Amino acid sequence: MKYSLMLATAMMLQFFTSYSVMTVAKITVEIESDGIIERFPASLATESLSYTAGGLVFNYPLDTFTVTPNVAITVEAASHANTFTFTAELTANSTSSSTVTVYKISNGGTVAEASSGEVTIHISSRGL
């Protein structure tokens, strides 16, 4: 028995709401498989904040996600010496919030947490 699965995904924006800095969109995810089309309601939340030492918490509005979202993080650093770089770690993730910790890594291999205000964190969370 041969089984083939072909996925084509399209998202249709239904509406979006801005909560302070966070923007939340309710979308419909459409998946086509073997001629059958399924539609699922989903959410997209995005926000950009200046980093706070100790970890930056992004709180989602109530009922944004019913399952833990998939999170993408981007670190935006101001001009800095080329003797170090930054990396981000998703240290906690749930349907109500995501926590990001940023580390500063020197060319010599020393790792320390980034200072408050040293970078801007952009987060994009997607899920049902």
Nearest to 98 by CA among 120, 71, 75, 74: 71
Any residues with CB less than 8 A from the CB of 21 and at least 6 apart, and which?
Answer: 47, 48, 49
Tracing tokens 């240290």 back to the chain, one arrives at 91
**How far is Cα 65 from Cα 126, in angstroms, rounded to an integer?**
8
CATH code: domain 8-127 is 2.60.40
3-state secondary structure (DSSP) of residue 17: strand
| Ordered per-residue pLDDT tens for the chain, 128 residues | 333 333 333 344 444 444 447 888 888 888 888 889 888 888 999 999 999 999 999 999 988 999 999 999 999 988 777 888 999 999 999 999 999 999 999 998 999 999 999 999 999 999 98
Q: Are 12 and 37 in contact (CB under 8 A)?
A: no
Domain residue ranges in the chain: 8-127
